[in-house]
Structure 1
Amino acid sequence: MERAQVVAEALGNAVRRASLRHKLARRVEHLEALRQVDQAILASLDLGPSLEVLLDKLFLLPLDTAAFFLYEPREKALRLAAHRGFHTPSPSLPRSLLLGQGHVGQAALTGEKVAVDDLSREPGSHPEFTREEGLLAERAYPLLARGRLLGVLAAFTRRPWDLTEEDEAFLETLVGQSTLALDSLKVLQDLQKSQRELEAAYELTLWGWAKAVELRDQETAGHTERVTALSLRLAEVLGVPEEDLDDLRRGAILHDVGKIAIPDSILLKPGPLTEEEWAVMKKHPVYAYEWLSGIPFLKKALEIPYAHHERWDGSGYPRGLRGLEIPLSARIFAVVDVYDALTSDRPYRKAWPKAKALAYLQEQAGRQFDPEVVAAFLRLMEEEEKA
């Protein structure tokens, strides 16, 4: 009897240890799953991958199907965004639900979990679909962040709902993680939208300034669009990093903005300028710098308005910069600007043929222009001519 009791106690201890090991393994599995969900949320700017990871982790639980519905405020409806485990082909699944419609819609409307243990008695909004799928139990969890509805997670089984207390706790945690993923993406999308709108407003403002110059200086109508586009193409040929192209584009748009301060008597004078008038005209890069240097957004872009009249040999203005002292963006723009001016009609002369303008650039390489930039521009023109 004593030996039997010892054996029974040993067996009981072994069973308890095995149970504890199983629980510990499950808990570690759940913790690792939550860590992977966190990584997916932080790593992706797109909701799709995060929802797929969440679905993967949901199926560590004894569930048969699950679906995420996202709330569309304008339509006051829930749209199916991701799902797993249904027999019905994806295109035939119910795609949207109104607030209050079915168990999912009810969870969204009330902001509380909806639990249904017998879908044959309470089939919800699509009884035929529920019957064909053989679904028996459902849990619908509203995904709420700061009082705002983001969506609903619906989980189903084809047998009686039998999740353990630990599994229920893990499911509730995944609901929280799903809310975090949706809320993080929503905040990010709102920030990106605001940034795009702000950038668009900046862009319109820059073009407004450029158009104001062109309206005063009618001989350059359309000049800004042409030199901006061509400068970007030349910058790409020269390997300018993509992240610097926006600054170059803004600088090209603003290249003559300082001319707003030049009197009409000088800016619109049909004949040659006197020495005094020319001294005033040469101030327009300085005016551009003085007006705009206090705007951090335009700091890098100002390289072109401030330095595109500098010359490779140091004889330019306003600072007399020489060679590589001149910013690359200004050296690029100077070649394009002169080429466009030479090949456009002016009141005092007709446009030059392209071949003559290119020959002039080549002649001025090493004096007015950076020789490497001129060489790249000639290659670009040749390639575009062949195309």
Structure 2
Amino acid sequence: MDRHAVTPTSKSKLARAFANVLHIQGRNRRPKSLNNEDQKVKNYIQNEEALLGQLFANISAIKAAYALLQYAQSPYDPDFILSADEMIVSELKSLSELKQCYLKDQFDDRSPEITRVIAEIKEQKNILTTYEIMGNKLDSQLKLKDSEIIFLREKLDEANKENKLLEMKLSLIDNFHLSKLSINNFTLFFRKTIKSIWSFVSLFCKEMEYAEWDLDAAASSIQPDAIFSKPNDKYYAFESFVCQEMFDDFNDPSMTKQPDIFFNRFMELRSVIPADYLARKPKSTFARFCGAKYLKLINPKLEKSLFGNLDHRNLLMNSNEYPKTHFFYTFCEMAKHIWLLHCLAFSLSPEASVFQVRKGCRYSDVYMESVNGEEPFLMSNGSSETELRVGFTVIPGFRVGKSVVQCQVYLC
């Protein structure tokens, strides 16, 4: 039920009250000498009730026209909007005419009863029109929601298929043993590691933006001679910076080359939450790796600018506790993947060794994968004039015996 609707009973009471007020206020305008005063008052009240009915009809018409105007906004229909606007203007004019009739005591030529019935019919039609418009609008919204539901269901189905495929791939890691370990296992986990690196880099850049860093200038300081073809390509510079620090000393010759030790470390850490593991084993090899890499990656000046203090650094250097922040947790998740990749690399036989390509090297799709998308295939035609060169390495690659896991490079 429309909360603005007025029932016939309430309208009748309102009309009588309204008429009584008008009667009191209009005594001075009525003739003082009347032979049939009661009949005059009765006629006056009936005319006022009829006028009030017309007023209600006009208001309902304006409401219907306004509902039509709103409906025409979405989807945008200029002709529909113009028609609704003209209806509103017309009803406002009628309202103004009613006001003038009241002020001049000029009532409808028809009997008050007929005028009142016609006004009530008009009001009911307007109310019905308003409900129809609202119903059509709700139908449109329902169809839109149905379309969104269908789209989301399709996305859910795609996600479920991807999850099943991922589960099948992960079974290669969940069910393998050291004796069955292969480069395929390593490559699969390398792809997961890249995703964790990008998650941290995204958060890292957002924190820098919040701290009002000039990201373009910062990217240029990381890769001074790089020319980025797209504005967002500057984020590859930050990814290269993070990888440079995190993969540094990956093949430390001082590390004990015992595949079973590294494989056991991998199996121990692969399914745990990094923060929980650090809390349980604050002096473990992984804990020392996390602390050392954080302190190297986030120098004091950078940490101070990001957080306004050195609490992360002080906690890592002076206690066996670790920061309980979203930033550090995201860093630990990335560090965990790199550490596990490190363990897998030393579990292989022969072991995997990391490599990067120098700036200016010719692009080779055997050793490299371009982060520039399809540009290597679109730009290169085999001539020396269009020979593509490496601007910088974004993600390092790996050699495993005679096999290669491609590095990711940004081409200039």
Q: TM-score, normalised by structure 2?
A: 0.24
Q: TM-score, normalised by structure 1?
A: 0.25
Higher RCO, 1 or 2 (CA under 8 Å, sep at least 6)?
2
Looking at secondary structure, tell me which structure has more helix per residue: 2
Looking at secondary structure, tell me which structure has more strand per residue: 1
State the structure with more CA Rg.
2
